[in-house]
Amino acid sequence: MKHGHISVLFDMLFWKPSRLFFRLNKYGWELIERFFLLCYDKIGKNEWETGACLMNKPIKVSERFDWTLCLILFLFFLISCITIYSGQASGQYGDINFVLGQIKNYIVGVVIVAVVMYFDSEQIKRLSWVLYGLGILLLIGLFIAPESLVTETKGAKLWYKTPIGSIQPSEFVKVFLIIALSKVIVDHYEKFIVKTLKTDLFLFFKLGIVTAVPLCLIIGDDLGTALVIMAIFAGIVLVSGISWKIIVSIFGLAGTLAGTIFALVIYAPEFLEKYLKVDTYQFYRIYSWLDPVGHKQGAGMQLYNSMQAIGSGQLTGKGFSESQVYIPDRHTDFIFSVIGEEYGFIGASFVIGLYFLLIYHITKTALDTKDPFNTYICVGIISMITFHVFQNIGMTIQVLPITGIPLPFISYGGSSLMANMMAMGLIFSIRYHEKAYMFGSDSKYLAKKAN
């Protein structure tokens, strides 16, 4: 090979690439700096500082959709329709087809899930006080609205009359409250970086005020929903990061007060009736709970018959639509007694296991999410559903007093089911819009910031 050819070859293989490398080395840092500045402008300061150079994954909509939760809800739908069909066979309400009504309620519930799932956590956070205020206005409206718009039952005004049926606003207020309480906690920790006993007490005070407003509007006419609101408040407070010194002190005082009131109900009911103006109707629930046999011809009839029905189901039950024990409202609050009588211990255990699976799935969602706001929402929903299930099943077997709380996703009822589906819509939204962080340290940073 000639000397000229060697020079050309050396120039092509080494000299020109080396000059290009040195040029890149000279201007490379400037290009990289411009790239990161562009990302900083696009993503935003707050997200950038929290390490939020994010990517949405997975990309496919089918993979972002929560199919496990969808399957669980579908199983509840089947159980609800089958059990309501058996429950309405008693003929208490004539020829009304509650199964068809429940199917319609579920269709509306699916629409609600789709609408809620459309909003991500940031949008829901911005709407939190709007929803909370709307719920409070609806509760106040029950006291001032004309009789043509409000349904009154046993002296309690709990439902609005609408063209599509009665709507109970207190059911939706529970979900709105969960969102508002989650917003309060997140905003508190963004404002108070340093955590002290004083800031914790201030946070507890704010959570208490937000909870007390709907609680005071509900507790007089709807004790069951009021208890659910208390359970939501307690569950969120326990994971809010508030010092255990405050939690134990205040909750211990509240427990002592509740125990004192319970003792007065049993031993001095005239004191509560005279000085606290408590309706004696609530007392009979306690008396019939403690002695259902002695009150089986009156206030304890439902509880006594419910225990008879569940006990007669034994291990495998009597079979589909073979109920023999009459229980009023067995398609609503006492629907678990139908399950226990017709499908026995095995059927009842399957339903309880399905609830455990639902709670486990929501718990896993709370642990997987990187956003503290979503975590608090999950905890509030877990508290709501857990109390509903424990209270409803407990009141059918004399573990707890009767409070009129429906069994979630199974009992017949429009407002209750729609509110629960709205809560599930929030879980679907968290799963659907959840973002994965490119850097592993980001989740640790956010967790540290939340605490």
Of 271 and 62, the structure prediction assigns the larger pLDDT to 271
Is the model's pLDDT at 112 over the cut of 90? yes
As a whole number of angstroms, the longest Cα–Cα distance in the chain is 119
Is the model's pLDDT at 26 over the cut of 70? no
Of 380 and 435, the structure prediction assigns the larger pLDDT to 380
**What percentage of the chain has pLDDT greater than the value 70?**
79
DSSP annotation string for 88-156? GGG-TTTT--HHHHHHHHHHHHHHHHHHHHHS-HHHHHHHHHHHHHHHHHHHHHHHHS-TTTEEEETTE
360 confidence band (pLDDT: 50, 70, 90):
very high
> How does pLDDT run across 377-415, given as a tens digit for each residue?
999 999 999 999 999 999 999 888 888 899 999 999 889
**Tell me, what amino acid is at 138?**
L
> Helix, strand, coil proportions of the chain in percent (round to 5)?
70, 5, 25
Is the model's pLDDT at 327 over the cut of 90? no
Question: Would you state the structure tokens that stand for residue 308, as one six-digit string?
Answer: 């008879």
179 confidence band (pLDDT: 50, 70, 90):
very high
Is the model's pLDDT at 59 over the cut of 60? no
- For all residues of the chain together, what is the average pLDDT? 82
**Tell me, what amino acid is at 446?**
L
pTM flag (> 0.85): no
Question: Would you state the structure tokens that stand for residue 382, as one six-digit string?
Answer: 């877990």
Is the model's pLDDT at 195 over the cut of 70? yes
Residues contacting residue 190 through CB under 8 Å, at least 6 positions apart? none
Of 325 and 74, the structure prediction assigns the larger pLDDT to 74
> Can you tell me whether residue 285 is helix, strand or coil?
helix
Is the model's pLDDT at 178 over the cut of 90? yes
**407: DSSP letter:** P
HSE (side-chain half, CA atoms, 13 Å) at 301: 9
Lowest-confidence pick of 24-38, 209-223, 240-254, 355-369: 24-38
Q: How far apart are CA 182 and CA 373, in angstroms?
A: 6
Q: Is 403 exposed, middle or buried (0-12, 13-18, 19+ CB in 10 A)?
A: buried
**330: DSSP letter:** T
322 confidence band (pLDDT: 50, 70, 90):
confident
Of 22 and 340, the structure prediction assigns the larger pLDDT to 340
Model pLDDT, residue 90: 66
